[in-house]
Amino acid sequence: MANPSTSQTNQGKSWVSNFIISFSEWSLRWVPDSMVFVLGLSVAIYVMAWALTPHGPVELVNDWVKGFWVLLTFSMQMCILMITGFTVADSKLIRRGISWMVSLPQTREACIVMYSLILGVLWWMHWGIGMMTSIIMGRELAIAKRGLGLDYRLLAAISYVAIICTNGPSMAAQLLVATPGHFMEKVVGVIPISQTTFDIHLLVTNLILIASLPILLLFIAPKKDDAKEISEALVVEFSKKPEEKPSHELTPADRWDRSPVLPWFIGIAGLFWIGQFLITRGIGKLDLNVLNFIFFILGLILQGSAYNFVSSVQRGVGTVSGVIIQFPLYAGIFGIIMNSGLAGIIAKWFVAISTAHTFPWIVFVYSSILNFFVPSGGSKFVIEAPYILPAAKELGANIPYVINAYTFGDELTNLIQPFWALPILGAYKLKFQDILPYGFIVMIWMFIVVTIALLYFPSWF
């Protein structure tokens, strides 16, 4: 059977489906790499600051260079956050747990419900773990449940649309403002995640998204007779196991590389510190550094040896290339916005069209639009924070709520933007057109839920 693709023909499809496919093909043809966007945005912000602020062209270049390296610490924190999440999900113990869970559901509907609920929770806990688990579990489901009518494209789509549940403990904006010394500390201070990630309004919103996702997916899933299951060629490819060096060929150095003694010794010490931190300070005091340390230690223990840990890190490094090379450019944009006075000008625009009540929803919509062009929650926050946070402060809006709204906006248009889907698409051997119809429908549902949450939840409870 040929590799499934929705782009083969548009005949017999509804106008909505045809529109989605056409939009996807246009996007893949005309929307360039995110690196092009950050370069273009740098030029646009430079011209905007030249036109609206007293700073001249040379002074603006100096503003740009002043900001270029201010995010080195944040860049490294984000790289470790992504890689450590990868090492945890990539461990043998987690993979065995995934295989066990795959064996449980016996019907098509049960597979969809179980898969989407598990991913919703995991994406909330740590988006890196959610993404890795979605790839491993989805491919295993596709192979193990052949004959049930599980559409292969649907499984890949579920792997990605669970991103709507990501507004949890691993989100960059919430963790950043909870970390002492962050770049906006002089404006808003340090805001613990007990006021953002674990705010009751956000928790209820996430619960609604997680619980409703399986229902929505069951409604839009292809019927059993229309489902296109995984091809035999992909079954063979995904079933291949990596070859391991026979034990009798291992040198003393190889045995040390594969020994669990040192990783477990370090890991136990790390677990002791983590337990002490959680008991004495509580989960509400988590910041980027503490969360990264937790997943570093968990990854080291679960991988079981220095060899496995380093190998997993090497496989995960490819996920951070954009952060490494693009964050300095975003920091340069931050430098222009802050040093030229452009932040104050844009903040006044927001204040003019907002109230304290509507401002979080406006940030949600604005961030979702900007996210289509700058699809990175951490780097985009560097661009937006210098004007949305002062505007929130001037309006008297709930700043933690504004930060949560920002992250929801970041997640919304990820559903129709291929940047974060690329690792999943590569793993499934599919194109973005294959999953976009599902992402588009889930995006509409998420917009409705978050709009109600931002505009009405604060007055309801």
Per-residue pLDDT of the chain (461 residues; tens, 9 = 90+): 444 444 444 555 556 556 656 765 676 677 666 678 778 889 998 999 999 999 999 999 999 999 898 878 878 887 887 788 878 888 888 888 999 999 999 999 999 999 999 999 999 998 878 887 888 899 899 999 999 999 999 999 999 999 999 999 889 899 889 989 888 899 999 999 999 999 999 999 999 999 999 999 998 888 888 888 999 998 888 877 666 777 777 888 989 999 999 999 999 999 999 999 999 988 888 887 888 899 899 999 999 999 999 998 887 776 677 678 877 888 888 889 888 988 889 888 988 999 999 999 999 999 998 887 666 667 688 888 889 999 999 999 999 999 999 999 989 998 987 767 877 887 788 887 788 888 989 999 999 999 999 999 988 87
Cα 326 from chain centroid (whole Å)? 16
Entry pTM:
0.78
In whole angstroms, what is the distance from residue 381 CA to residue 407 CA?
9
Q: Which two tokens stand for residue 17?
A: 């489906």
Which residues have C-beta within 8 Å of that of residue 13, sequence separation ≥ 6?
A: 21
C-alpha dist (Å) from residue 165 to 74, 130, 159, 362: 23, 10, 12, 20
Going by C-alpha positions, the residue among 400, 408, 411 that lies closest to residue 451 is 408
Q: How far apart are CA 252 and CA 255, in angstroms?
A: 5
* Sign of the alpha-carbon dihedral angle for 172, 159, 430, 311: positive
- Return the structure tokens found at 386: 């210098």
Integer Cα distance of 102 and 119 in angstroms: 13
Residue 23's contacts (CB-CB under 8 Å, 6 or more residues apart) are 416, 436
- Cβ atoms of 407 and 199 within 8 Å: the answer is no
The total of other beta-carbon atoms located within 10 Å of residue 265's CB is 10
